[in-house]
Amino acid sequence: MLQNLRESYCSHAARGAEKVRRGLFHEALGEYIEAHDIARMIGDAEMVFEAISNLSMVRLEIGEVRSAQKGLREIILRSRNERVVLGASYNLAVSLRKQGNFARAFSYARRAMEIAKRRREISSLAMCHNLLGNISLSQSLLDQALREYRRALALRRREKGDNRFSLAILKENIGYCLLLRRQLRRGVRWIEEALRLAEETGDRRCRTDCLQDLSYARMRLREYADAARLGEKALEMALAEGYADIEKNCYYLLGEIAHLVGDSERRDQFFNRLQKQYPEMPFLRDFLCAVDVSGIITLKA
pTM value?
A: 0.93
Q: Report d(CA 237, CA 223) in Å as an integer.
A: 22
Q: Report d(CA 167, CA 42) in Å as an integer.
A: 36
Shortest CA distance to 97 belongs to which of 128, 136, 61?
136
pLDDT score of 204: 96
Distance of CA 20 to the CA centre of its chain: 11
Distance of CA 162 to the CA centre of its chain: 20
Count the alpha carbons within 13 Å of 88 in the hemisphere toward its beta carbon: 24
Phi, psi of 38 (to 5 degrees): -65, -40
Q: Which residues contact 195 (CB under 8 A, 6 or more apart)?
A: 168, 172, 206, 207, 210, 211, 214
Regions of the chain with pLDDT less than 50: none
Q: Report d(CA 259, CA 129) in Å as an integer.
A: 38
pLDDT score of 136: 97
Count the alpha carbons within 13 Å of 171 in the hemisphere toward its beta carbon: 24
Q: How many CB atoms lie within 10 A of CB 282?
A: 9
Helix axes 244-260, 264-277, angle to 10 degrees: 150
- C-beta separation of 60 from 68 below 8 A: yes
pLDDT score of 156: 97
- C-beta separation of 85 from 72 below 8 A: no
Distance of CA 82 to the CA centre of its chain: 24
pLDDT score of 108: 98
Question: Would you identify the CATH topology of the domain 1-64?
Answer: Methane Monooxygenase Hydroxylase; Chain G, domain 1 (1.20.58)
pLDDT score of 295: 72
Radius of gyration of the chain (CA): 20
DSSP 8-class letter at 36: H
- Indicate the domain borders of the chain: 1-64
- C-beta separation of 195 from 157 below 8 A: no
